[in-house]
Structure 1
Amino acid sequence: MRPVDAIIVLGGERDGREEYGIEHARQGVSANVVLSHPYWRGDPKMAEFCAIQDQRFTVTCVPPQPSTTRGEALFTRDLAAQHGWNSVMVISWRYRVPRARYIFSRCFDGDIVMRPVPRDYDFGVAHWE
């Protein structure tokens, strides 16, 4: 694990990804956590995450446009330009990491560290595909 300018948590299944990204920030990996927020406006879990206040890091919640991995890569590119970020850690589920890396590499010129959510799945790659 190495420091990055921002931790980007992609939207999707409630599999612990938000907690995983925030825990990395608490451990000092980054002072910036960006949570993709493609969920309905009144989502109580996202409201809880977006309201986190910690002196060690900031949490920013962004609805991706479009509401896809491409939209998440685009908002990362824009935030990086705005804040001078050169490196990001992208967190998603294990089977989405290769695809997300490809999309992010097309939209973001900086250093990209991919991190899968540490959890077990009841199915393998072949079943998922």
Structure 2
Amino acid sequence: MLRRVTRVVLRATLGVQGETRGFYLRFLGLAGYDRAMRLMVRGLVVAVAFVLGVWVMLWPVYVRPVVDEPLVADAILVLGGAHDGREELGLSLAAAGYAPRVLISDPYEYSGLVNRICHGGYSFEVVCFDPSPRTTLGEGRALRSFGANWSRVIVVTFTPHISRARHVLGECWSGELLFVDVGRELTPWRWAYDYVYQSAGYVKGAFVEC
């Protein structure tokens, strides 16, 4: 009789222990999942804060760069990139009497627009050149070659490129640079792209001399 009672008590005890063990395992599983979620949310918050911090820090560099009022210059340099009206702006400035010549960076395999500009008849000189390398650095080297006896040049490009172009061209040529913004409208995705692209250009430029 005593043995039977002992077995019953033992079975009951083991059953309770098993249920308790299962409860703890389930609890630990939920606790682990909850901890992982908290870490994930925390990491996401840190990442978003970092991106926003970088965006704000670089805002005056890419979004609100220093632009200049055009003055009479020796030449107008139109930097390569999208055909967003920069070529037309450069030509209109020359037509308005700001410079006797326009330099058009032509790093394209073929562009009907640039081809027409390069062979058009104007009251001022138009010089099209293929920079080497086909980057802002190549354009800076071309400016150094063309502008050995110049003192002031108007440069036409788009907003996110202005600060870096000012830095690169300033390393290549010692004259006065006046930057004019073509005023191109950019999508949020394009802004994000140019934040990365222009920043990478700064890093790359740190290891290359003009």
TM-score (norm 1): 0.91
**CA displacement at 1:32 relative to structure 2:** 0.8
1:19 maps to amino acid: E
**CA displacement at 1:85 relative to structure 2:** 1.3
More helix per residue: 1 or 2? 2
- Check whether the contact 1:95–1:125 (CA below 8 A) recurs between aligned residues: no
Q: Does residue 103 of the first structure (1) align with residue 172 of the second (2)?
A: no
Unaligned runs of 5+ in 1: none
- Check whether the contact 1:94–1:116 (CA below 8 A) recurs between aligned residues: yes
Q: Does residue 118 of the first structure (1) align with residue 183 of the second (2)?
A: yes
Q: Does residue 39 of the first structure (1) align with residue 104 of the second (2)?
A: no
Of 63-72 and 118-127, more deviation after overlay is shown by 118-127
More strand per residue: 1 or 2? 1
Partner residue, 2:125: 58
1:76 maps to amino acid: L
Aligned length: 125
Larger Rg: 2
What are the superposed Cα offsets for residues 16-53 of structure 1, whole Å, 9 maximum, x if unpaired? 1100100100111101100000001x421111010122
1:80-91 maps to which residues of 2 (within 5 A)? 80-81=147-148, 84-91=149-156
What are the superposed Cα offsets for residues 77-98 of structure 1, whole Å, 9 maximum, x if unpaired? 10011xx211111111100000
Partner residue, 2:71: 2
What are the superposed Cα offsets for residues 54-104 of structure 1, whole Å, 9 maximum, x if unpaired? 22x1100000001000000100110011xx211111111100000000001
- Check whether the contact 1:91–1:115 (CA below 8 A) recurs between aligned residues: yes
- Check whether the contact 1:4–1:87 (CA below 8 A) recurs between aligned residues: yes
Q: For 2:184 and 2:112, locate their aligned partners in 1 and report how far apart those are by CA, in whole Å.
A: 23
Instruction: Kindly indicate whether structure 1 or structure 2 has the higher relative contact order, using CA contacts under 8 Å at least 6 residues apart.
Output: 1
Task: Give % identity.
Answer: 33
Q: For 2:191 and 2:143, locate their aligned partners in 1 and report how far apart those are by CA, in whole Å.
A: 30
**CA displacement at 1:6 relative to structure 2:** 0.5
Q: For 2:159 and 2:184, locate their aligned partners in 1 and report how far apart those are by CA, in whole Å.
A: 9
Partner residue, 2:35: none
Which of 73, 77, 92 is equivalent to 2:140? 73
- RMSD (CA atoms): 1.5
Unaligned runs of 5+ in 2: 1-69, 196-210
1:77 maps to amino acid: R
Partner residue, 1:19: 88
**CA displacement at 1:112 relative to structure 2:** 0.5
Partner residue, 2:7: none
**CA displacement at 1:126 relative to structure 2:** 5.7
